[in-house]
Structure 1
Amino acid sequence: MGWIPDDVIEEMRGSHQLGIFLRVDTDPALHMWFGVHDIQTGFDSIDPDGTVYLGGGVLQGVPTLEVLVNGTADSVEFTVSGIDPATGGKMLDSLPPLRGAAVQLGLTTLDQYYQPMSKIIPIWTGTASHVSESSPMVTANESPSLTLALSVVSGETTRSRASRSLWSAPHQKAISPTDLFCDGTARLSRGVQPVWPHYT
């Protein structure tokens, strides 16, 4: 058996139910999956004894997940909508500090009883940045509701800090004063091919 169990691979070849699980490493940790009931499972490497993942409702769409490339970290948002304002306020007040917390996203297939066929298979890791709230406009006959969103970035930066997408010699020397790696970037941006050192 490899990284993905054989029975899960076989299930994915046909028509299958997919369970998507989200874990935020706060204190205490938040365990949620996109379904309608609670499930006992876990990531092998994080909670090997298993834990209860709370049902967060039906997933409307999966955000595009990207990894850190060339110093640029993409941001995604996981949202919960349709919350009444009083409940949403209590949720926001009870949230533990989450800035910088690791966020793991994993999946597995579900059997005919909507139970996981394996431990959660990790597919993406990010860093929690911040929570935002919004309230759509309602008419006189509608009840107000809240949408809460958790912003998560891939890589080492958070949303309110600029990502390291531009590298120059002064930037690099501010991090590492003796590093000469970026000394040729100004010439490179003008189209001049710098002579790179040869180390033997």
Structure 2
Amino acid sequence: MNALSGAAIFVVQTLVSLYLVIVLLRFVLQLVKADFYNPLCQFAVRATQPLLKPIRRIIPSIGGMDTSSLLLAVVLQALLMAFVLMVTYGTFGDILHLLMWALLGVASLFLKIFWVAMIVMVIVSWIAPNSHNPAAELAYQIAEPVLAPFRRIVPNLGGLDISPIFAFIAIQVIQSFVLPPIAAQIGMPQELFRMI
């Protein structure tokens, strides 16, 4: 791979990944029942509406889950992976493997969204505990469903909430010890594994 193709991969991967985060964030927002009057939620809705509107006509929501956003995220991830493989190897392989790799990539990104939301929530709780910043409120709404099971298990230590530590450990275990063996099992190329 020469410098020009490496630069093309970097630019396309960066732009598509940013949009992919917004699409997956829209899925997460509906999943956690976030406040859609939040300006950041409004941004996610407006940014994803052009691509989601035609998909929603065909794919309905199932069980309160925004399946069209999830499908769009998988398709975007698959197209990005196909582009990387095409530029690197001149072929993108078969569609079945590409879809499996895309599902794994979306699962990894899903975990990263919760990871970042918890980091923002923890930092804001230290710096400005009663902040009404839209980003802080959104981070709390995203992180709370992940932290709730840990709060039921971990005892309250006199006002110190250590449940995020256990949630971080759980997410890191999945990212480090569950996803890599799955990626190896389904034959994910190293170039794609670096993306997740």
Q: In terms of Rg, which structure is larger?
A: 1
TM-score normalised to structure 2 length: 0.21
Larger proportion of strand: 1
TM-score normalised to structure 1 length: 0.21
Relative contact order higher in (CA < 8 Å, ≥ 6 apart): 2
